[in-house]
Chain A
């Protein structure tokens, strides 16, 4: 149980275009989803937290107009990188947390990641 999928796994796009990445919780309802970015040989950096039906909360330094997040249902969140530039090339990972995962563990389940390359 607790499987999170991402689509696509890899995407290459031209500079200036927009790219949408999907994150789905396959066997549980995720009230909260998180989007992370990971550069080579670095750890995950939280970009934003999204709660179903409300606006995402962005971390300091993350442009909300550039990284559009939508969490319209309990099983799907999308990240759209608008007007992509080569410096946006990175590994984007989502995680999901369910409504009943309470108590001391409160676990997040991570997706497999999406490799974005902007030419």
Chain B
């Protein structure tokens, strides 16, 4: 079954601290993996997209890693800011089925001052 599991479900961090979110997937055949940030009441905004040949990709203070062998990805947030408070969704695209997306449940991050 094609699934994307994220952990933790939620976390609270202090402003300025770092955190790492995890994503495990069983989607096959794999096309690419994406991390999105979704603010409350808004649509998802793309942070990174990686194919199986890309191990790491950064977007400002966000750094995503991908291990296609173990089917794991992580999103690292450096020097968190209050505006980082949001849900972070791991999404895997299947090569077949018109690149249909499989969404993880998301990790809700709350950054406190």
Contacts and interface: CB of A to CB of B under 8 A. Distances in A.
Contact of A49 (B45, B46, B49, B98): B98
A42 B89 CA distance: 10
B31 A107 contact: no
Nearest to A32: B98
Interface stretch (A69-77, A81-89, A111-119): A111-119
Given A43-B103, A46-B100, A104-B31, A110 B51 contact: no
A18 interface: no
B43 A113 contact: yes
A109 B34 CA distance: 12
A113 B42 CA distance: 6
B49 A113 contact: no
Nearest to B10: A41
How many of chain A's residues touch chain B, expressed as a range?
20 to 34
Interface in A39-97: 41-46, 49, 91, 93, 95
Contacts of B36: 110
A55 to B, nearest CB: 15
A81 B31 CA distance: 33
B93 A106 contact: yes
A108 B100 CA distance: 10
A108 B108 CA distance: 22
B32 A106 contact: yes
A107 B34 CA distance: 9
Given A43-B105, A46-B100, A115 B41 contact: yes
Contact of A110 (B32, B45, B93, B98): B45
B16 interface: no
A110 B32 CA distance: 17
Interface of A: 4, 6, 32, 41-46, 49, 91, 93, 95, 104-113, 115
